[in-house]
Amino acid sequence: MSAVADAIPLRRAPTDLVSLLNGTIETLQLQARAIDIALTVDAGPGLPLLSIDGEKIAWAVATLVGNAFRYVRRGTRRHPGGSIRVRIRADGSWVTVGVEDDGPGIPPEKAANLFRRGQGVTHGTGLALMLIEDVVTAHGGTIDVKSKCDPFASGTVVTLRLPVASIAGAVPPA
Average pLDDT, the chain: 86
The predicted pLDDT at position 2 comes to: 52
Q: Does residue 172 form part of some domain?
A: no
Q: What is the residue range of 95's domain? A: 3-163
pTM: 0.86
Model confidence over 18-30: pLDDT tens digits?
Answer: 999 999 999 999 9
The predicted pLDDT at position 3 comes to: 55
Q: Does residue 43 form part of some domain?
A: yes
Strand 83-91 to strand 38-43: parallel, antiparallel, or no bridges (unpaired)? parallel
Q: How far is CA 62 from CA 69, 108, 151, 169, in A?
A: 10, 24, 27, 29
Share of the chain above pLDDT 70, in %: 86
How many other CB atoms sit within 10 Å of the CB of residue 166? 8
Q: Does residue 33 form part of some domain?
A: yes
The residues with which 157 forms a beta bridge, in sequence order, are: 100, 146
Mean pLDDT value across residues 46-60: 95
Q: Does residue 102 form part of some domain?
A: yes
CATH number at residue 150: 3.30.565.10
Q: Does residue 61 form part of some domain?
A: yes
Instruction: Give dist(CA 64, CA 132) in Å, integer.
Output: 9
Q: Does residue 174 form part of some domain?
A: no
Model confidence over 127-173: pLDDT tens digits?
Answer: 888 899 999 999 999 999 999 998 888 999 999 999 997 554 444 44
Length of the chain: 174
DSSP 96-162: EEEEEE-SS---HHHHTTTT---TT--TTTTHHHHHHHHHHHHTT-EEEEEEEE-SSSEEEEEEEEE
Residue 66 CA from chain centroid, whole number: 10
Share of the chain above pLDDT 90, in %: 64
Q: How many domains does the chain have?
A: 1
Q: Does residue 168 form part of some domain?
A: no
Residue predicted with more confidence, 34 or 78: 34
The predicted pLDDT at position 101 comes to: 96
Q: Does residue 173 form part of some domain?
A: no
